[in-house]
Amino acid sequence: MSKEVRVVANWKMHKTIPQAIDFIKKLPELKTTLSIAVPYTMIHACAKFPEKQPLLCIGAQNMHYEIDGPYTGEVSSKQILDAGAEFVLLGHSERRHFFNETNEFVNKKVRQALLNNLVVILCIGETLTEREQGKTIDILEEQLLKGLNEVDPNLLGKVMIAYEPVWAIGTGEAATPQMAQEAHFNLRKIMTDKWGEKISDQMYLLHGGSIKPENIEELTSQQDIDGVLVGGASLTSETFNEIIQKAGSIKK
Ligand code: PGA
């Protein structure tokens, strides 16, 4: 099945509202969907910006699994939707490692987000130690299946998986295209075994970890890599616009 190459940006804890608006104004004319996961504080300003291009989707980088309640400092799916978010990143490795998020905790959020009609980008990835111990595929399978536990297969069309090796995030050392394709191929197989070929083919498998203009073409040309999740290289207009242009020129 042919898919457009998806580009998703993760701004993490960067930028102010004026900087975000300036960045959005400088985007090239979009020919395919572009998603940017912004800090909570700028969801509304970016999503409701009058000149926002229709193919630009704004999303959040996290949310709580309850819809409301006494959770000081937390933000719910209802609130991010209200602010204008169309999607949410869940289970990012920084959430797993700095905030001790478990697969079970991430799964609660996934199910709540889908109930509220948000697109979910579920992030998974192995650490360097796990890779060195030969556990990569087991870890990915566990994060994938536990993260999507009890999700109605009819809702999987609203889920994208982002495979980001933890050792490649923010290090400048991306996985080689062969290494990345091998993991994506195995993930696709796990998805096919679990949900069948039709659903597995339709689901987007994004790749992340040190994506830059220099490696995007080779990575997204791989059969099972349907797009990219970009952190550091999504922060400056010049670099990111180059990534968008290159992604747009890839025919799959
Ligand atoms: P990076 O981050 O592109 O800076 O490696 C990717 C991510 O954390 O999603």
Q: What tens digit of pLDDT does each residue of 144-190 get?
A: 999 999 999 999 999 999 999 999 999 999 999 999 999 999 999 99
**For the chain, what percent of residues have pLDDT higher than 90?**
97
Q: Which residues line ligand 1 (CB under 6 A)?
A: 10, 164, 169-170, 208-211, 229-233
Residue pointed to by tokens 């970009």: 230
What is the pLDDT confidence band of residue 119, given thresholds at 50, 70 and 90?
A: very high
For the segment 195-220, the average pLDDT, to the nearest whole number, is 97
Helix or strand (DSSP H, E) at 247 = helix 237-248
Asked whether residue 252 carries a pLDDT value surpassing 80, the answer given is no
Asked whether residue 137 carries a pLDDT value surpassing 70, the answer given is yes
User: Following DSSP, what letter does each residue of 75-139 receive, concatenated?
Assistant: -BHHHHHHHT--EEEES-HHHHHHS---HHHHHHHHHHHHHTT-EEEEEE---HHHHHTT-HHHH
Give the closest residue (by CA) to ligand 1 atom 3. Answer: 231
What is the pLDDT confidence band of residue 251, given thresholds at 50, 70 and 90?
A: confident
Predicted confidence at residue 243, as pLDDT, reads 98
Sequence-distant (≥ 6) Cβ neighbours of residue 149 within 8 angstroms:
107
- The three-class DSSP label of residue 54 is coil
Higher local confidence (pLDDT), 252 or 142: 142
Tokens of 62: 């996290």
Asked whether residue 244 carries a pLDDT value surpassing 70, the answer given is yes
Neighbours of 196 (CB within 10 A): 11
Sequence-distant (≥ 6) Cβ neighbours of residue 71 within 8 angstroms:
64
Predicted confidence at residue 15, as pLDDT, reads 98
What does each C-alpha distance from 158 to 85, 135, 203, 222 come to in angstroms? 14, 28, 8, 23
Nearest atom of ligand 1 to the alpha carbon of 234: 3
Distance 212 CA to ligand 1 centre (A): 10
Q: Which residues are catalytic?
A: 92, 164
**What is the rounded distance in angstroms from the CA atom of residue 91 to the CA atom of residue 110?**
9
Nearest atom of ligand 1 to the alpha carbon of 94: 8
3-state DSSP helix/strand/coil % of the chain, to nearest 5: 45, 15, 40
Q: Up-side HSE of residue 179: CA atoms within 13 Å toward CB?
A: 15
Distance 18 CA to ligand 1 centre (A): 23
The model's pLDDT over 184-197, given as tens digits with 9 standing for 90+, comes to 999 999 999 999 99
What is the pLDDT confidence band of residue 39, given thresholds at 50, 70 and 90?
A: very high
Cα of 52 vs its chain's centroid, Å:
21
Nearest atom of ligand 1 to the alpha carbon of 174: 5
Model pTM?
0.97
Average pLDDT for the chain? 97
Answer yes or no: are the C-beta atoms of 208 and 228 closer than 8 Å.
yes
**What is the rounded distance in angstroms from the CA atom of residue 54 to the CA atom of residue 41?**
21
- The three-class DSSP label of residue 164 is coil
Distance 29 CA to ligand 1 centre (A): 24
Strands 159-163 and 204-208: parallel
The model's pLDDT over 49-95, given as tens digits with 9 standing for 90+, comes to 999 999 999 999 999 999 999 999 999 999 999 999 999 999 999 99
Predicted confidence at residue 49, as pLDDT, reads 94
Asked whether residue 1 carries a pLDDT value surpassing 70, the answer given is no
